[in-house]
């Protein structure tokens, strides 16, 4: 394997039109942070780059909906997301943003370099134009019917129902998101990156030279390349974004997917004047951490841009994750089906590591995976509390009880002690091997095996049973347990930085470099440790039930808002309306009609008479529950014979989307026979 001098880690720029949720964290930011912290501990030259992606149509649409400027939208979410990352210990060296001046300059220069090399194809095409609003309709400014699944609300760039990428011309019955009007076609000039031209090179670079990429990433690239690449527009007719820096480009900006990845370069420039050694030296290893929806941009389009520009290195690896679902349903911002980071910290203050741990332990590394609150609770209670917390607490409490907090001498060791000590080194190697190949779940499991090892060692050696009979032996046991504890602060640091900082303060030690992991002399005899607190607390059922109920309430809200009311009926004249005699009445008697399931025979006081009405509501009401209820009826409906009974009129009911019937009653008691008009 090639040895690199330094590392450039990038994490997908989150889009600044919404807060960060657990899906983002599990897919991109927890793994990238674990990897970065690991490299830092190894003493590698590494920088970790991220920032907000602040251009593109969803931001301008949101601004329009809220009646504010796009800038105020991106300001809001940039600040919010930056804080969320800090709160969870995602240790970027810089969290920049693509609305910065340095990014405008960098992206413009990048475009100009390619432009001056004659790399772009300039092409006039017909695109949809909204005459009422006076603008072209890019991407999500246009909706219509999806040609593949008939979803009537497909966007100009994608159908969210079937997931197909679309272009506006694919839409059936297109209309403008801005004015609702039917757009016309109008000619417009754009610049295209000729991806087809780079296809042979991309095929070799990915399919032959990077067979080590994760199978989900490699597979998706192969499928794109097998389908054949097409030239792709890098500009848009929009007023929010980086202006295309050439003449005759008024009203045109760089396509957000051209400018966003250049954001990694701008952010590095902002971070250090030495930025070029990270971006232009073959001895730098560049790694993009992303979610699967970004694979094509980071594996095909951005490398094509970098290669064409000519002075940049290419990514060595793109360890993209699949998606995390929440309680068996796709995480969705618009449906509020998510666990938001800022809300999590209100409900579970100080428990950042519990979320980091459970997201890493069930990360969607090779296929989509599911987050459930029950599993979260089990990970905390059965693993963090019962294994790691329990081992550490026993070791530190015994040290304080037996030796007033001084690390005891290790005396003669037996073969079991020796095998335990050598296992520490083996586990370190296992963690390294997994991290080096981006298998974070496996790495975490191996790291936790060190705590399992310690737990088992104490349980087997039972120092509390022999403290009277063999005090010398107990010194050795506690010394070894303490060495394991000190090793935990190294090996678990990338995964659980908050808890390991706490543990170091209990041990009264500083942070150790990765190379020390595996040593059995990290704590010297006589070293004084502090009085410990609990490293993790049990999470009780009621805390978990509260989260589940919150999601159930969301589900209920979504179901209600998903329901579309039936379309309006044809108009009627006022005179026609007044022909219908609608009035209040009271149910005096109710009984089921034998041999039917749906019919009730009701005796009704209409204010003008007492009459019988047969109504098909028996499935929804028990007769005894509705006697005495005031209701609304149509009094002048022609009498009908139903099951041999003359029914004179009709009870008014509201029918819910699931067919449930509800009586329409006056909101307070009125006289029977009051006209409803
Ligand atoms: Zn569709």
For the chain, the average pLDDT equals 93
| C-alpha of residue 181 to centroid of ligand 1, in Å | 22
* Residue 69: Cβ within 10 Å count: 13
Q: Residue ranges of the chain with pLDDT lower than 50?
A: none
Residue-level pLDDT at 166: 86
How far apart, in whole angstroms, are the C-alpha atoms of residue 592 and residue 315? 75
| C-alpha of residue 158 to centroid of ligand 1, in Å | 8
| C-alpha of residue 366 to centroid of ligand 1, in Å | 25
Residue-level pLDDT at 280: 98
Residues 28 and 289 sit within 8 Å (Cβ to Cβ)? yes
| C-alpha of residue 145 to centroid of ligand 1, in Å | 8
What's phi and psi for 106, nearest 5 deg?
A: -60, -45
- Kindly give, in sequence order, each residue whose CB lies less than 8 Å from that of residue 341, ignoring residues fewer than 6 positions away: 19, 20, 21, 22, 25, 84, 87, 88
Residue-level pLDDT at 364: 95
Residue-level pLDDT at 558: 79
| C-alpha of residue 174 to centroid of ligand 1, in Å | 14
Residue-level pLDDT at 64: 87
| C-alpha of residue 156 to centroid of ligand 1, in Å | 11
- The CA angle 387-388-390, to the nearest 5 degrees, is 65
Pairing assessment for the beta strands 640-642 and 653-655 based on DSSP bridges: unpaired
Residues 586 and 619 sit within 8 Å (Cβ to Cβ)? no
Which tokens in the block code for residue 599? 């019919």
Residue-level pLDDT at 658: 64
Residue-level pLDDT at 413: 97
| C-alpha of residue 149 to centroid of ligand 1, in Å | 4
| C-alpha of residue 345 to centroid of ligand 1, in Å | 37
Q: How far is CA 413 from CA 4, 396, 405, 512, 534, in A?
A: 41, 21, 22, 25, 30
Q: How many CA atoms lie within 13 A of 230 on its CB side?
A: 4
Q: What is the pTM of this model?
A: 0.82
pLDDT digits (tens, 9 = 90+) for 642-653: 888 999 999 998
């Amino acid at each position: 394997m090639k040895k690199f001098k330094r590392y450039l880690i990038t994490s997908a720029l989150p889009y600044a039109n919404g807060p960060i949720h657990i899906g983002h964290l599990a897919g991109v930011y927890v793994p990238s942070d674990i990897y970065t912290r690991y490299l830092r501990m190894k003493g590698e030259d590494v920088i970790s780059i991220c920032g907000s992606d602040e251009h593109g149509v969803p931001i301008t649409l949101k601004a329009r909906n809220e009646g504010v400027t796009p800038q105020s939208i991106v300001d809001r979410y940039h600040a919010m997301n930056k804080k969320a990352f800090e709160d969870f210990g995602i240790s970027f060296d810089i969290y920049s943003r693509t609305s910065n001046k340095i990014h405008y300059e960098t992206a413009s220069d990048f475009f100009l370099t390619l432009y001056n090399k004659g790399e772009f194809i300039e092409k006039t095409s017909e695109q949809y134009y909204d005459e009422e609003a006076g603008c072209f309709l890019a991407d999500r400014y246009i909706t219509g019917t999806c040609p593949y699944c008939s979803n009537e609300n497909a966007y100009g760039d994608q159908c969210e129902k079937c997931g197909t990428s679309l272009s506006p011309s694919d839409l059936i019955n297109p209309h403008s998101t801005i004015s609702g009007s039917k757009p016309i076609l109008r000619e417009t000039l754009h610049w295209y990156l000729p991806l087809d031209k780079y296809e042979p090179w991309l095929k070799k670079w990915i399919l032959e030279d990077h067979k080590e990429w994760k199978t989900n990433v490699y597979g998706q690239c192969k499928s794109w390349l097998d389908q054949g690449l097409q030239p792709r527009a890098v500009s848009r007719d929009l007023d929010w974004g980086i202006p295309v820096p050439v003449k005759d480009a008024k009203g045109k900006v760089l396509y957000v997917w051209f400018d966003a990845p250049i954001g990694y370069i701008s952010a590095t420039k902002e971070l250090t004047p030495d930025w070029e050694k990270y971006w232009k030296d073959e001895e730098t290893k560049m790694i993009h951490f992303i979610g699967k929806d970004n694979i094509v941009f980071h594996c095909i389009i951005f490398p094509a841009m970098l290669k064409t520009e000519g002075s940049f290195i290419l990514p060595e690896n793109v360890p993209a994750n699949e998606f995390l679902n929440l309680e068996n349903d796709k995480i969705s911002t618009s449906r509020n089906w998510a666990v938001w980071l800022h809300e999590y910290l209100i409900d579970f203050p100080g428990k950042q590591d519990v979320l980091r741990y459970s997201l890493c332990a069930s990360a969607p590394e090779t296929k989509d995976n599911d987050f459930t609150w029950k599993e979260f609770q089990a990970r905390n209670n059965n693993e963090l509390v019962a294994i790691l917390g329990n081992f550490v607490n026993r070791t530190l409490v015994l040290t304080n009880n037996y030796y007033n907090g001084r690390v005891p001498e290790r005396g003669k060791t037996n073969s079991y002690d020796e095998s335990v000590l050598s296992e520490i080194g083996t586990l370190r190697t296992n963690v390294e091997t997994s991290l080096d190949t981006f298998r974070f779940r496996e790495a975490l499991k191996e790291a936790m095996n060190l705590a399992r090892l310690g737990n088992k060692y104490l349980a087997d050696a039972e120092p509390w049973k022999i403290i009277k009979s063999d005090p010398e032996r107990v010194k050795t046991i506690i010394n070894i347990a303490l060495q394991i504890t000190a090793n935990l602060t190294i090996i678990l640091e990338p995964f659980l930085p908050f808890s390991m900082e706490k543990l170091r303060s209990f041990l009264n030690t500083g942070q150790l470099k990765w190379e020390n992991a595996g040593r059995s002399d990290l704590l010297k005899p006589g070293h004084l440790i502090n009085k410990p607190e609990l490293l993790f607390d049990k999470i009780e059922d009621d805390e978990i039930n509260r989260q589940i109920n919150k999601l159930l309430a969301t589900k209920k809200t979504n179901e209600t808002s998903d329901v579309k009311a039936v379309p309006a009926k044809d108009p009627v004249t006022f005179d026609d309306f007044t022909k219908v005699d609608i009035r209040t009445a009271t149910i005096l008697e109710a009984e089921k009609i034998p041999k039917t399931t749906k019919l009730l025979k009701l005796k009704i006081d209409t204010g003008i008479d007492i009459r019988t009405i047969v109504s098909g509501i028996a499935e929804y009401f028990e007769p005894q529950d509705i006697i005495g209820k005031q209701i609304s009826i149509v009094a002048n409906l022609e009498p009908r014979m139903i099951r041999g009974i003359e029914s004179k009129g009709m009870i008014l009911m509201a029918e819910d989307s699931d067919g449930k019937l509800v009586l329409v009653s006056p909101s307070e008691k009125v006289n029977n026979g009051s006209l409803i008009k």
